[in-house]
Structures are given as C-alpha cells and as structure tokens.
Amino acid sequence: MAPVLQTIDLQKRFGGIVATNDVSLSIEKGARHALIGPNGAGKTTVINLLTGVLRPTAGRILLEGRDITDLEAYKRVQLGIARTFQINQLFPDLTPLETIGLAVSERLGMGGQWWRLVGSKSDVLTQAVDVLDRFRLADVMHERTATLPYGKQRLVEIALAIACRPHVLLLDEPAAGVPEAERHDILAAVAALPKDVTVLLIEHDMDLVFSFADRISVLVNGELFVEGAPEDVARDPRVKAVYLGEEADA
Amino acid sequence: MTVADDSSTATRALVAEASAALAARARWGPLEIAFWLAAIASVFLLPTKHLILTEIAILGLFALSLDLLLGYAGIVSLGHAAFFGFGAYAAGLLAKYHVVDEPVLALLVSGIATMLLGFVTSFLVLRGSDLTRLMVTLGVALVLREIANRLDITGGADGLQGIVMEPILGRFAFDIFGHAAYVYSLVVLFLLFVVARRIVNSPFGLSLRSLKGNPLRASAIGIHVNGRLVAIYTIAAGYAGIAGALLTQTTQFASLSVLDFERSADVLLILIIGGAGYLYGGLIGAVLFKLMQDWLANLTPQYWQFWIGLILVIIVLVGRDRITSWTDPIRAFVQRATDRVWPRAREGG
Amino acid sequence: MLTILFDGIAYGMLLFVVACGLAVTLGLMNLVNLAHGAFAMAGGYITVVLVNRLGVPFLASLPLAFLFTAAIGAVLERTLYVHVYAKSPLEQVLFTIGLVFMSVAAVDYVMGSQQQFVRLPGYLQGQINVMGVGIGRYRLLIIAVCGLLTVALQFALANTRFGSRLRAAVDDARVARGLGINVNAVFAVTFAVGSGLAGLGGALGAEILGLDPTFPLKFLIYFLIVVTVGGTSSITGPFVASLLLGIADVAGKYYVPTLGSFVIYTVMIVVLIWRPQGLFSRGTAR
C-alpha cells in the first residue's frame, strides 16, 4: 500500500546550520505515527517543511502520491494536510464559532463569498457546531478566543485543524502547556480522532506517545535516528542514551 | 429514544441558537438606524449647511475605504490619497471631455478605473514589512501626483478647470447651494456603506479579520491570504476612487491637492479619531474632523495644520486604547439598553 | 557631464549626511521618524539666522547648527520620543507626522513662508577650474565636509567603544543590556548626534536644496528612499544609496526634465518590490 505521506531525503539548511538532514519518512494511511526526540532535534522544522511554512533546501514531499514540495501552504491544506502549532496560533478577536466556522466555510469553497452573511448556510453552521460540540466547546463558542482559559484555547487549536477534515493531521505537542486538570480533554480528543485520518504526532509526554502511537520515529540533530514499533523503540538503548545523555553503545 | 437521537437533537438546538446569535449580530441595531435617520434628517433640517455636509459625506466615504484596508485587513497605507485623487481626476476628465456625461455613470466608471489601479498596485503591498508598505504606498501616491503635475491634460498645477456637470440621472441639476450634491453624496455613501457592511459580515469579511489577527494560521487553514488582500485592496481603492470622483463632481474642480500627502495623513487621522474596525469610525471621525477643522480654522486661519499635528501627537501619546476606554461606559450603557454586543473599536497595526 | 556627476555627488552626500541619522535610529530603535527632515530644516534656519541676521561667519555657523539641532534632538528624545519606542509602526508614523505638521506650521509662523537664502561668503561662491572642468566651490565644500563626516562616522563606529556599543545595541538590544551596556544612553546620544547631523546637512544644503517651511515634507521621500534602498544595518548602504539617488536625480532632471522626480519614485518602488529589505542590508525587512 502506498504511503499517504512521504518525504524523500528532506533537507533544510539555515546558512551553515543543517536543521533537517536527509529525513525520509514514510507514513501509512490511518497510522498513528509519533515523532520524538530531544529538544532542538528539529521536529517542528519537519512539520514546517511538511506544511509549507518552510521551503526545503533539498528533497521532496509527497502527499497521497502527489508531489507537494513546491506548493504554497494554503494549497497543501486544501489537498488534505492540516496541523496544529506548539504554541497556540489562534485568532484572538474571533469566537470559537467564528474560528471553526471559518475553516469549514473555506473547506467548502465558500470563503470568498462576500455577499452572504456569516451563518446563513446551514451545513457550514451544522458542521462547525458539530466539531465544537465534540470538543466540548459549545458553551464558550460565542466568547472571544483571547478570553478563554489556556486549556480551552488548546482545544480550539486542535478543533480548528480537525475542522479542515484533513487526510493527514500533524499535531505539534498538543498537550504542551496545558494544566494538569485540562489535559484529559486534550488526550481524549486526540484519542477520538477518526480512524481514517493519518496522524503524525510530536510529543514529549511519553505516556501519551506510547498509548497513542503504533509507530515511532526518533529525530536527533535533524536526522532520523531510530524508527520502529513503540516497544522496540522503548527498549532501544541508543534511544535511552540520546535522551539521558549517556555514552551510547557502539 | 437512543443516545444518538438525543445528541442530534441537542446539536440541532445548538445550531439553531448559533444561527440566531450570528443573525442578531448582523442585524441593523437601533443606534445604526438612528444614525442614518439623522443623516437623512440633515437634508431637511440643515438646508444651509449642505455644502459642508457634502464634504463630510465624501470624507466619510474616503475614511470608510481606509477602514476596510486598515481596520479589517490590517494593511497600513500612507498613500491612500492615490486612489482618491485618481478617482477625482478620472471623473473630472470624463466630464470635461464629455466622455461620460451622466454623473452616476461617470461615477461608476471612475470607481471601476480606480479599482483597476488598486488591483495593479495591490501586489506592491503584499511583500515586505509594515514599514516597506508605508513607503511603497507613499511612493505610489507621490508618483501619481507627479504624473498629474506633468501631464497637460490634467492641467498641471492649475488643476482641472472648466468642468460643467450634467444633471444627475438627467433630472437633478447641481445647484449652487449644494442641495442636489448633498443628497447625491449621501445616497452614494449609504449604498456603498450597505455593501461594505455586507462584505465585513460575510465569510470573506471573516477571513479578512482572521488574516489580520494571525496570517500564519489563516494560511494554515487553507486561506489564500494574498488573494484576499488583493481583493480587499481593490475594493478599498474603488471606494476611495468614488469618494474622489464625488468631490470633483460636486465641486466641478479637481486640483493636485487631492493627491497630497496631507490628504493621506488626514484620512488616517480621521480613522484614528473615530476608531477603526467597526465601519462607523470613518463616518464619525469625518464629522468630528470637519467640525474641528472649521473651529480651528476660525482660530488661526493659516496654521490649523499645527493643531492637527498636536492632536495627532496627543492621540498617540495618550494611546488609542485609553481613549477607547473612555467610551467604555457609554458602550456598556448602550449594550445594556439595547441588549446587543457592540464591538470595541480596535485598531490595526 | 562631469559637472552633473559632480553636482550629483554633492547632492547625494548631502542627502546622506541628513539621512544617516534616520537610518541609524530606524536600525537601532526601530523608530520610524518621519519628522527627521524637521531637524534638517531647523539646522538650515538656525544657519540663516546666524549668518544673515547675526553676522556669524558661515563656516562657524555650521558646527553651531550641529550643536543646536543635536540639543533639540536630545531634549525631544528624552521627553517625547521615548514614549513611542514601544508603539506600533503606524503609531510612530502618526506621531512623527504630527510633529512634522507642528514644526512646519511653527516655522511658517515664526519665519514666514518664503524661501530663505544664506549669505554665502565670497570665497565659496563661483567656480574653480580643475583640468578644464568648472567645479562649484560651494559644492566642493559640501563634498569635502560630508566626506570627512562619513569617514569620521565610519571610524567612530568601527574603532571606538561607543561605536561598538552602538553596533551591539543595533544587533540585539536585549543582549546588549544584558552585557551591561546602557542602551538608553546609547539611544539618546545616537538620536542627538543623528539629529545634529541632519541639522548640519540642512545648514549645508539650504542653498542647494531650497529652504522653506515645507522642507521636511518635500524631502521626506528622499530620506525614506535612502533608508529603504540602503538598508539600516550599515553606514555604507545608505551612503551608496544616497550617492545613487543624488546622481540619478540630478542627471534625471537635466537629461529628461519632463520625467524629473518620477525616476526616483519609480526606482524606489521597483527596488522595494524586488528586495523589500533594501539593496544592502542583511537579514529580513524591518
């Protein structure tokens, strides 16, 4: 079966610094793939390359067999790849309803319509409310996003990516910065993602990683270090060494 | 009843509630209606003031066009007079050389021509930082002013003279008291305002607000940010062009001053005074600005520019947020009295 | 043609002396100071008063113009400008436009709106003959003074302690503070010197550029072009940009008078589209 997301020798240089070095990923449809590695390993850079925020210095990116390396970010979203950000990237003055509704109406091709009123198309509204309800944001959907507590904002962050109905979803540390009390909602939302959506997850929370992922790639200094099933990666002494800084065995 | 039925009923209720809430926000509120009723009343109640009211209406339309750019899309422009002036000269040329005699038609043609200019120059503001944008927009306005200065057809430094306007729609002739001019300008302003109101309350308008707030995330949910910016820049240019055309048509004269840097600075000031981001800021600001200008001009005829400068300095030092917060009690009262949410005037940039 | 080149160079160097202060404040404090031209105007008017009305020798009035304008700059920086450092570019623009309007109206009120001329001493009038080419003495003076200033600036930046503090603060103010550099003092001194230089440029340029109350607005675009095309991360960038601009403007007005100022505006727009960060600066656009 052809992989739904593939990178071939992906490379990114910033001047003399090689942030991403010949990364070749191959992710199957419906996979729950985790990307882990020590801080500064370049995980977010990979996400930025996949989504088009950064252009690679070399290498190619294939989405469902189609070469998207030279496509602009917004076009990639339209082709079915969406992401969340490590630090919330939301629209502070918009309400969750407006935010999610915006993503839905864009996806349905209505984003450019200047003659209709927001909320006048019932299927847009229904889909938006549905997403908000699933993420338990219905009670705050009319409040300005900037006024919401961080945990709720994080839910909006993830809900926004889901509202794009992506085929591939890239989650950049979804639980980052979320207070303990609100983590459960985040984890539940991640676990409840539709099975046909392929998920690439960056996380530091190892509990989340091992409970969620069916395959793990370890990124160190911009390079793919180890890749395999969770149990194998967990047992691999080289991985432990990289995280704990001990001398790796030869 | 199964669980699924329960939840879908709940969702349907939510959808209905959300739909009602959104519709309520877009509805014309009592203060809005009062504003326009007052504007219509001014036609009959202030017959001696129609000349200055026409100026206010035109300024208001010009400021409205800048609000679309600055308040909704976050584009900072120091040369918006370029479009105002282009529309002014277009209308003047159309009338003087009898290319299009009927004023409304000429207005439309001028507006479309200015939209084309906006479209062509829009790509200049897509790149670079706020500072680059300031410079580029300033540069474009200066280039246009030079062109108007040099060309024979535009009359150079003397301006376009000898314009005689035909009656509006063939029936309403322009008179020296400015009655026809005022009603004409007010109608144009109102119609364009209604369209602008639709635009900002549309999905397109929502996407503008999103890319003003966070362009990175906007493109991350599939919005073609540059495409939207080009669209709103074009529309705003058209609005400004129509405002300029109105000025020429109502004064039967077009001079280089329509392209002056001061005009771009004045309209920025008007928008700051009134507040950007809720459409009425430009209109309210225009009224206040004209009243202020009148009063200051009586104080010190030649040096009123000094007071404008002082006001600008004070506004920035005191801070727009603090000024807006002075009107918070009023807003809260109105909110309670009308049971609606009035947006806080938020500034771009 | 050589005369044109010469005139263009003189014009360009004048622009540089006036605009370099703007480039440094923009690069250092991220401050968009559209009122910079007002300092140049102040210097010009101070010289007019000193030379025409008080009989001060022209050459002596130049350092006085520098000092007076630098003092005005220092005072304004500490009292007014310091409040807008943290504000958005739009607010800085509005603030400084307000200052320009105020200064233009004030000068109009005090000095009248007619163009002012400085009574140049005899030895600076006319031309001298160098290898068959007529070179204006005044322009020669301008090139000499501005050239010396440029060299002195470059030296000060590269070889003095203040220069390294300034360069550090421009590079990264936060880190500079962390190293114990009094960034606020650096700001204040730099702003004062930049304004003083503008004043000196205005004093020198009164004869060539034309001095009247609308000076700051008339030449605003020139200064902005120098800064955007030349970038803000070095002295050489604005220097080269000024020279190019000066030569282009003089040559343009001579060879193609109908196009005149067009050429430079269009050049600026083209450059900004092609390289929004300027021709010479490194890094991203400010």
Q: How far is the alpha carbon of B294 from chain C, nearest alpha carbon, in Å?
A: 17
CA distance linking residue B318 with residue A177, whole number of Å: 36
For chain B, say whether C260 makes contact (Cβ under 8 Å): yes
Q: For position C102, what pLDDT does the model report? A: 93
User: What pLDDT score does C286 carry?
Assistant: 34
3-state secondary structure of A108: coil
CB contact under 8 A, C105 and B127: no
- DSSP sequence for B113-149: HHHHHHHHHHGGGTSS-HHHHHHHHHHHHHHHHHHHH
CA distance B265 to C136: 39
Altogether, the residues listed in chain B come to a count of 349
C-beta of residue C263 within 8 angstroms of C-beta of residue C272: no
Q: Which comes out higher in pLDDT, residue C136 or A13? A: A13
- B-chain residue closest to C108, CA distance: B303
Rounded Cα–Cα distance for residues C199 and C14 (Å): 11
Looking at chain C, the whole-number percentage of residues with pLDDT higher than 70 is 93
pLDDT of residue B90: 95
Helix, strand and coil content of chain C, in percent to the nearest 5, comes to 75, 5, 20
- Among B131, B312, B348, the residue with its CB nearest the CB of C95 is B312
Q: Do B219 and A119 touch (CB under 8 A)?
A: no
B222:A122 CB<8 A: no
| Yes or no, beta carbons of A119 and B19 under 8 Å apart | yes
B142 in contact with chain C, both atoms CB, cutoff 8 A:
yes
Choosing among B133, B262, B305, B312, which should be mutated to test the C contact, i.e. which has the most C CBs within 10 A? B312
Neighbours, chain C (3 or more CB pairs < 8 A): B
Residues of A in contact with B19 (CB under 8 A): 119, 122, 125
* CB within 8 Å: C105 and B136: no
For chain A, what are the domain ranges?
5-244
Residue C276's pLDDT is 63
Mutation for testing the C interface, residue in B76, B78, B120, B135 having most C CBs under 10 Å: B135
Top CATH class of A5-244 equals: alpha beta
Q: Which of C94, C95, C273 sits opposite B124 (nearest CB)?
A: C273
- Radius of gyration of chain A, Cα coordinates, nearest whole angstrom: 19
Tell if the CB–CB gap between B14 and A91 is shorter than 8 Å. no
CA distances from A178 to A83, A183, A184, B36, C169 (A): 18, 6, 10, 48, 36
Contact C281, B165 (CB under 8 A): no
A110: nearest CB among B203, B209, B213: B203
Search chain C and give the residue with CA nearest B309. Answer: C98
Suggest the residue from B316, B320, B322 to mutate for an interface test with chain C (most C CBs closer than 10 A): B316
CB C208 within 8 A of CB C11: yes
Q: How far is B289 from chain C (nearest CA, A)?
A: 15
Residue A146 DSSP symbol = G
Q: What percent of chain B has pLDDT over 70?
A: 89
DSSP of C123-179: GGSSEEEETTEEEEHHHHHHHHHHHHHHHHHHHHHHHSHHHHHHHHHHH-HHHHHHT
From the centroid of its chain, how far is CA C77?
Answer: 17
Q: Quote ipTM for the complex.
A: 0.90
Task: Reply yes or no on whether the pLDDT at A171 is more than 90.
Answer: yes
Contacts of A110 in chain B (CB under 8 A): 203
Question: What does the pLDDT average to over C198-207?
Answer: 88
Q: Which of B76, B143, B302 sits opposite C90 (nearest CB)?
A: B76
Q: Is the CB of C94 less than 8 angstroms away from the CB of B347?
A: no
Q: Under DSSP, is residue B325 helix (H, G, I), strand (E, B) or coil?
A: helix
Cα→Cα distances B226→A72, A161, B127, B128, C151, Å = 11, 21, 9, 12, 44
Query: Nearest residue on chain A to B215, judged by CA atoms?
Result: A91
Q: Using a cut of 0.90, tell me whether the model's pTM lies above it.
A: no
Q: Which residue of A has its CA nearest to B7?
A: A133
Model confidence pLDDT, tens digit, residues B332-341:
666 666 555 5
- Residue B234: the pLDDT is 96
Helix (H, G, I), strand (E, B) or coil at A172: strand
| B-chain residue closest to A120, CA distance | B19
Give the pLDDT of residue B250. Answer: 93
Q: State the Cα–Cα distance between residues B224 and B115, nearest whole angstrom.
A: 20
- The answer to whether the CB of C204 falls within 8 A of the CB of C10 is no
Q: Which of residues 98-137 of B touch C (CB under 8 A)?
A: 123-124, 127-132, 134-136
Q: Does C219 touch chain B (CB under 8 A)?
A: no
Q: For residue B227, which residues of chain A lie inside 8 Å, CB to CB? A: 112
3-state secondary structure of A32: strand
Distance from CA of B7 to the nearest CA of C (A): 47
- pLDDT score for C156: 81
* Interface test with chain B among C87, C269, C286, by most B beta carbons within 10 Å: C269
CB contact under 8 A, B22 and A126: no
Q: Report the mean per-residue pLDDT for chain B.
A: 86
Given a contact cutoff of 8 angstroms between Cβ atoms, the answer to whether C126 and C115 are in contact is: no
Chains C and A touch (3+ CB pairs under 8 A): no
Cβ burial A211-241 (10 Å sphere, 16+ → b, else e)? ebbebbbbbbebebbbbeebeebeebeebee
pLDDT-wise least confident of B103-112, B324-333, C214-223? B324-333
Q: How far is CA A128 from CA A71, A95, A124, B220, in A?
A: 27, 12, 6, 17
C112 in contact with B, Cβ within 8 Å = no
- In chain C, residues with a C-beta closer than 8 Å to the C-beta of B146 are 260-262, 265
**Count of other CB atoms within 10 angstroms of residue A111:** 23
Residue C93 pLDDT class (50, 70, 90 cuts): confident
Tell me the per-residue pLDDT of C192-201, one tens digit each, with 9 for 90 and over. 988 999 999 8
**Cβ-Cβ contacts under 8 Å, B204 against chain A:** 111-114
Spatial contact of B75 and B229, defined as CB atoms under 8 Å apart: yes
With an 8 Å Cβ cutoff, is C258 touching chain B?
A: yes
Any B CB within 8 A of C267 CB: no
Residue C269 contacts B where some CB pair is shorter than 8 Å = yes
Residue B36: pLDDT band by 50, 70, 90 thresholds?
very high
**Are residues A82 and B220, on separate chains, in Cβ contact within 8 Å?**
yes
> In the predicted model, what is the mean pLDDT of residues A150-166?
92
pLDDT for the residue B339: 53
pLDDT digits (tens, 9 = 90+) for B241-258: 999 999 999 999 999 999
- C133 neighbors C2 (Cβ within 8 angstroms): yes
Tokens of C24: 């440094």
Please determine, for residue C226, whether its predicted confidence score (pLDDT) is greater than 60: yes
Other CB atoms within 10 Å distance of the CB of residue A151: 18
CA distances from B319 to B68, B286, C95 (A): 22, 20, 11
Residue A45 predicted with pLDDT over 70: yes
Tokens 């998207």 found at: A68
pLDDT (mean) for B162-169: 86
Neighbours of chain A (3+ CB pairs under 8 A): B
Residues of A in contact with B225 (CB under 8 A): 74
CA distances from B344 to A126, B322, B330, B349, C26 (A): 28, 12, 11, 16, 32
Domain locations in chain C?
Answer: 2-213
Of C197, C187, C189, nearest in space to C238 by CA: C197
In the complex, which subunits touch B with 3 or more CB pairs below 8 angstroms? A, C
Whether C80 and C209 have beta carbons less than 8 Å apart is answered as: no
For B263-303, write each residue's pLDDT tens digit: 998 999 898 888 888 899 999 999 999 998 888 888 777 78
With beta carbons under 8 A apart, name residues in chain B contacting A156. none
pLDDT for residue B2: 46
Residues of B with CB under 8 A from a CB of A: 7, 10-11, 14-15, 18-19, 21-23, 26, 198-199, 201-207, 209-210, 213-214, 216-225, 227-228, 231, 346
Subunit contact B272:C88, Cβ cutoff 8 A: no
pLDDT band at C167 (very low <50, low <70, confident <90, very high): confident
Q: Are the Cβ atoms of A133 and B11 closer than 8 angstroms?
A: yes
First to last CA, chain B: 54
Taking the C-alpha atoms of residue A47 and residue B310, their distance in angstroms, rounded to an integer, is: 50
